[in-house]
Amino acid sequence: MKCFVGYVTKTGTTKEIAQRVGEVLASRGIDADVAAITVDRDLRAYDRLVFGCPVNGMKVLPDFATYLGGYAAPAGKPVDLFIVSYMFEKGRALWRKAIRGEAERVKALAGAKSTEVFGGRIAGPLPGFARFIFGVPGDMPADIRDWEKIERWANSLADSMLA
């Protein structure tokens, strides 16, 4: 079982999550390549595909969406997605709804089996006005990645790959 875990990142958070997913898959005996997404990688070499991207402006990065529609879906392999967001879990309902909608949009673009949303990391505390706009509590840590959730998800992928 050979799997590609591809990611897009701006500040490294999504890369680290992808690496953790790859480690869990490897610990389950799955041959997992983890790397930034590039169009020259031949996806036909893999049995399963996992792709991750951060949310910026309540959307995935445009290149990610282009890649899913143009390369990932046509490869015809089972795809699972994760997107990384700071506002999804505690932000205002309006933003949570927007991110949920984006998760559904990219799922359809890739023809993916599943899309999971993980909490991410920001560089430092948000200014008060931004916390207000996004509805983010003042005591929320800059890094809200839930490694147990990430590992649980990766293990559930491994279960489905080995079934």
Ligand X SMILES: Cc1cc2nc3c(=O)[nH]c(=O)nc-3n(C[C@H](O)[C@H](O)[C@H](O)COP(=O)(O)O)c2cc1C
What minimum distance in Å lies between the beta carbon of 29 and ligand X? 28
67 vs 86, beta carbon nearer ligand X? 86
- E strand or H helix that includes residue 66: helix 62-67
Long-range contacts of 107-111 (CB under 8 A, 24+ apart): 107/81, 109/65, 109/68, 109/69, 109/73, 110/51, 110/68, 110/69, 110/72, 110/73, 110/79, 110/81, 111/73, 111/79
Chosen residue from 1, 35, 43, 122 binding ligand X by CB under 6 A: 122
Q: Interface with ligand X by CB under 6 A: which range of 19-27, 48-56, 66-74, 154-162? A: 48-56
Is residue 62 a contact point for ligand X (CB under 6 A)? Answer: no
Q: Interface with ligand X by CB under 6 A: which range of 50-58, 73-81, 104-112, 152-160? A: 50-58
Residue 4 in contact with residue 43, Cβ under 8 Å?
Answer: yes
What minimum distance in Å lies between the beta carbon of 96 and ligand X? 9
Using CB under 6 A as the criterion, which residues of the chain lie in contact with ligand X when the complex forms?
Answer: 9-14, 54-58, 84-88, 99, 120-122
